[in-house]
Structure 1
Amino acid sequence: MIGTLENASLLDHAEELASMVLHSEYYALYQESKNRLERDEKSQQLIKQFLMVRDKYDEVQRFGRYHPDYKSVIKEMMECKRELDVHPFIADYKKKENQLNELLGEVSTILARSVSSSIKVPTGDPFFDRSCGTGCGSGGKCGCRVR
């Protein structure tokens, strides 16, 4: 690949953008929350327990309701997931992770729209990703409104 001044400039801008994200408030809050979660013994115990229950759940899902432990494992999975979701450090981590993900989605959308309005951008939000609002790539043939 022939390195041109334009390619070098583009790489410099990409590195600058990455640095801006890494020095953003969202990333700092995410890292702080992640570190707190990793240091908390109760959180780590809940995660480990959830992973063990999830393995049992995956095994039960292979056979569905015909598995002898189906009801008990499903109940255990729901209880474990609920306990995980309400733990303050885990809930805070998920919140910060979603905020960072939204920032990255916005940056991706801005970059894509600067190239073309018909580029599909996976934002991580299944509600918007499944609709034609992000550009279906068919040029409006499906009946969606091309932006």
Structure 2
Amino acid sequence: MLATNETVEILDRAEKLGQMVLASETYLDYVQAKRQLEEDQEAQGLIQAFQDSKVDYEEVQRFGRYHPDYNSITKAVRLKKRDMDMNDSVANYKIAERNLQKLLDEISGLIANSVSPQIKAPKDGAVFQDTGSGCGCGSGGACGCAS
């Protein structure tokens, strides 16, 4: 592909947009929340305990309800996840992450709609949200769905 003046201008504008995102309050809040989470030893312990319990949970899921420890392990995983999610550092990080994702989705939507309203853009963290057809494949029904 040859670099035309138009292509260079688009790349320059994309770079400026990226710099604006990196300088935004939303991004700076995300970076601060991430740093706080990484430095919080209690939160790191809760995250590690949850990840360790997921190993047992995945083993149990292979057999489903027929595994003798199914109920106790699934309950333990849910409790560890709740403990992890209730930690202030984890909760603040998830909020900041969600806000940053929302900002990026809004920017993607604006760019896509400026090209054509037919272009799909991420919404709520997902690339192709279903709008009620029962399928989100975006193939226009080629897969056999009602899209």
Q: Which residue of structure 2 aligns with residue 82 of structure 1?
A: 82
Q: Give every structure 1 segment of 4 or more consecutive aligned residues whose post-TM-superposition deviation is greater than 3 Å.
A: none
Q: Which residue of structure 1 aligns with residue 10 of structure 2?
A: 10
Is the contact made by 1:120 and 1:137 (CA closer than 8 Å) also made in structure 2? no
CA–CA separation in structure 1 for the residues paired with 2:122 and 2:30: 21
Larger helix percent: 1
**1:1-147 matched pairs, under 5 angstroms:** 1-124=1-124, 129-131=129-131, 138=140
Structure 1, unpaired ranges of 5+? none
CA–CA separation in structure 2 for the residues paired with 1:118 and 1:137: 13
Structure 2, unpaired ranges of 5+? none
Q: Provide the identity percentage.
A: 43
TM-score, scaled relative to structure 2: 0.86
CA–CA separation in structure 1 for the residues paired with 2:60 and 2:130: 30
The code of the aligned residue for 2:13 comes to H
The code of the aligned residue for 1:85 comes to D
Deviation at 1:137, TM superposition (A): 7.0
Deviation at 1:143, TM superposition (A): 9.5
Is the contact made by 1:29 and 1:96 (CA closer than 8 Å) also made in structure 2? yes
RMSD: 2.3
Deviation at 1:124, TM superposition (A): 3.2
Secondary structure of residue in 2 paired with 1:129: coil
Q: Number of residues paired by the alignment?
A: 139
- The one-character-per-residue Cα deviations of 1:79-130 (angstroms, maximum 9, x if unpaired) are 001101111110000001000000000000000100111111122356x922
